[in-house]
A and B are shown apart, each in its own frame.
Chain A
């Protein structure tokens, strides 16, 4: 079965510091990968998605970037955090068209709660 991991679970960072959040998926190959941010009491905002190694699409211009150095690894980064970057960050995966299954059925990781002070 497939498993998705995110770390760290909780992070408190000062304004202006760098950020690196990591997500890995097990039990599947060539997944589509996604980063979302969820602000308190609000819906999920898609930040980035990737259909393959090195292929990243950005949905919202902002202070963040994403990379996919390996097939099942997705990293969210920032060079300098802003107060507005605080939130709950969720990584998700879906089957690719090559692997079969519904590409829009996304499965979420446990999330990272980021507080920028």
Chain B
């Protein structure tokens, strides 16, 4: 079993839809959770960073962490064609902060 599981997609939605992207994990020691966006043939770009459980909002993006279920989510409101990209979740332990464990990414396509 992988430490971090992420549905590869592709996930295709119409413009304006609310998008929900998710990751599950098995290591209860993970404390830091991140979401990266990666456009085709580009490096990943940090979108959201959260510590422990709870929600964090930034514009159209909301990151949610449920440590009891070992489940994290990224919600995108009013999705735009420019949101079409691969979204990677990443997480790390308190004492091993050099080592981010990444999901394999979910490809999102927002149709105009």
Contacts and interface: CB of A to CB of B under 8 A. Distances in A.
Q: Do A and B come from one complex?
A: yes
A109 interface: yes
Contact of B98 (A44, A51, A90, A111): A51
* Best-surrounded residue of B36, B88, B98, B104 (most CB of chain A within 10 A): B98
Nearest to A91: B43
A78 to B, nearest CB: 21
Contacts of A104: 32, 34, 92, 97-98, 100
Task: Report, as a range, how many residues of chain A touch the other chain.
Answer: 20 to 34
A46 B8 contact: no
B46 A105 contact: yes
Contacts of B8: 41
B45 interface: yes
A107 B90 CA distance: 12
Interface of A: 6, 32, 34, 41-44, 46, 49, 51, 57, 59, 88, 90, 92, 94, 102-111, 113
Main secondary structure of the interface of B (DSSP, over half): loop
B46 A107 contact: yes
Interface of B: 4, 6, 8, 32, 34, 36, 41-46, 49, 88, 90, 92, 97-100, 102-105
A49 B98 contact: yes
Contacts of A32: 98
B88 to A, nearest CB: 7
Main secondary structure of the interface of A (DSSP, over half): strand
B92 A108 contact: no
B74 to A, nearest CB: 16
Nearest first, the 9 closest Cβ-Cβ pairs linking A and B are A108-B43, A104-B97, A43-B104, A104-B92, A43-B102, A44-B102, A103-B97, A111-B43, A108-B44
A46 B99 contact: yes
Contacts of B43: 6, 90, 92, 108-111
Contacts of A102: 32, 49, 97
A90 B38 CA distance: 12
A108 B97 CA distance: 16
Given A32-B98, A44-B102, A46-B100, 18 more contacts: A6-B43, A43-B105, A44-B88, A44-B100, A49-B98, A57-B98, A90-B43, A90-B44, A92-B43, A104-B32, A104-B97, A104-B100, A107-B46, A108-B44, A108-B45, A110-B42, A111-B41, A111-B43
